[in-house]
Amino acid sequence: MKLIAQNKKARHDYFLQETFEAGIVLKGTEIKSVRANKVNIKDAYCAIRGEELFVIGMHIAKYDQGNIFNHDETRTRKLLMHKREILRLENKIKGQSLTIIPTKVYLEQGLCKVEIAIAQGKKQYDKRQALKEQDAKRQVERSLKNY
């Protein structure tokens, strides 16, 4: 598995509940840009339309050696999952303040995969509390390292 992009800020901004793996439909120049690590999923999110799952806001840079048929950088891309998995996702987020966000993009056996997660947004005080816990943990590790 080769990690292409990771949404590190997702763990800071959201409580991640459950993760899933999905394939993604890409055009020819898009996969070449993905292999060159030119992907950004920082502002991306997923939406269910009908019985299909789409990723919105995922930025894949234009391929340098592409021609006039190069792809649109932020187009909506379809994610590949089984219908029952998509329906299960939809039932989990329906009626609750949950969202689906991509957390990782990686290559596995030559295929591009996206790890998505069901997430609930954190409030500002939750973010501050998490930072305090991380600082305390770091200080304990430093003090143990010195002994």
pLDDT of residue 21: 95
The strand ranges marked E within 25-130 are 39-40, 45-49, 52-56, 59-60, 77-80, 98-108, 111-121
56-92 b/e (C-beta count within 10 Å ≥ 16 → b): ebbbbbebeeeeeebbeeeeebebebeeeebeebeee
- Chain mean position to CA 121: 15
Options 3.30.750.24, 1.10.260.40, 2.40.280.10, 3.50.50.60; CATH for 2-146 is: 2.40.280.10
pLDDT of residue 126: 82
Distances (CA, A) of 134 to 64, 71, 88, 115: 40, 41, 33, 25
Residue numbers of the chain with a pLDDT score lower than 70? none
pLDDT of residue 87: 93
User: From CA 134, how far away is CA 132, in angstroms rounded?
Assistant: 5
Domain ranges of the chain: 2-146
pLDDT of residue 19: 94
Element holding 134 (H helix, E strand) = helix 124-146
Phi, psi of 85 (to 5 degrees): -70, -40
Q: Give pTM, 2 decimals.
A: 0.82
